[in-house]
A = this chain, B = another copy of it.
Amino acid sequence: MAAMPIEAPIPFDAIPLLAALRPDDREALAPLCRMRGYDKGDTIFREGEPADRIHFVHIGRVKIVKAAGTRDLILEILGPGEPVGAVAAFERRPFPASAITLEPSGILSIPEREFFILLETRPEMMRRVLAGLTYRLMMVNKRMADLTGSAEYRAARLFLTLSDRVGLQTAEGLKIPLVLSRQEIADLIGTTLETAIRLMSRWQKEAVVLTEKDGFLIPDTNALKGTDQ
């Protein structure tokens, strides 16, 4: 969609999967790398497209969305340093889901073929990739278990998970500096827009989760942890 090329040194160190590279590796890989800027809501790739490039989030946040019947389901939200679509690229399969930016983002991408050749010659790098993949698999398993129970319960789990990943302790409570629309919350917990709105409205009144300009504020996480089933 958008996509103006950005010229800058490749931020290898900010990407765990590439940080293991030695200087000579980096030099070999750098010319293949492409950094692009995306606006909020831009599509990086679409479900079904061939996966000829592996993407990494440099700046911003990206949601992975899969069409599930009439509604969308957000499979995950990825932040800086995380790989996007690597799975499909390894398997040389089409992307199984779409990637859409949640904020203005900088995305680094590498051609799949060259990346794979590098992996084969670098065991210690492959080990990192393996660990990253297995971790992702565990997170997805966990999210799947979270998809059971009531909508309120799932929402509580969502905000607790977000707290762990990006939460900041402040004087007023736990701050989640991530702007999500009601629709995106609905997609994350697998419910409808209306249900998400109703729930968030109630939580606003009860001061369980407060929606703010730049994210969410949770005065007391125990109120969320008490939510059951």
Chain A residues within CB distance 8 Å of chain B: 66-71, 73, 75, 86-88, 90-91, 93, 96-97, 116, 119-121, 123-124, 126-127, 129-131, 133-138, 140-149, 153, 190, 228-229
Main secondary structure of the interface of A (DSSP, over half): helix
In the complex the two chains form, is A69's CB within 8 Å of B229's CB?
yes
- A130-B96 in contact given A66-B145, A68-B146, A148-B68 (Cβ < 8 Å): no
In the complex the two chains form, is A144's CB within 8 Å of B142's CB?
no
Besides the known contacts A73-B144, A73-B145, A120-B124, 14 further A-B residue pairs in the complex with CB atoms under 8 A apart:
A66-B142, A66-B145, A68-B145, A68-B148, A69-B148, A71-B148, A75-B141, A75-B144, A87-B137, A87-B138, A91-B131, A123-B126, A126-B130, A143-B144
Instruction: Provide the residues of chain B in CB contact with A124, threshold 8 Å.
Output: 120
How many copies of the polypeptide does the oligomer hold?
A: 2
In the complex the two chains form, is A229's CB within 8 Å of B70's CB?
yes
Closest Cβ–Cβ distance, residue A1 to chain B (whole Å): 23
Instruction: Provide the residues of chain B in CB contact with A129, threshold 8 Å.
Output: 130
In the assembly, what is the distance between CA of A71 and CA of B228, in Å?
12
In the complex the two chains form, is A91's CB within 8 Å of B144's CB?
no
In the complex the two chains form, is B73's CB within 8 Å of A135's CB?
no
In the complex the two chains form, is B96's CB within 8 Å of A141's CB?
yes
Task: List 8 A–B pairs whose Cβ atoms lie within 8 Å, in order of A's numbering.
Answer: A66-B144, A73-B145, A88-B134, A88-B138, A91-B131, A126-B130, A133-B137, A136-B137
Closest Cβ–Cβ distance, residue A131 to chain B (whole Å): 6
In the complex the two chains form, is B138's CB within 8 Å of A137's CB?
no
In the assembly, what is the distance between CA of A71 and CA of B91, in Å?
34
Instruction: Provide the residues of chain B in CB contact with A147, threshold 8 Å.
Output: 144, 147-148, 190
Instruction: Provide the residues of chain B in CB contact with A120, threshold 8 Å.
Output: 123-124, 126-127
In the assembly, what is the distance between CA of A143 and CA of B147, in Å?
11
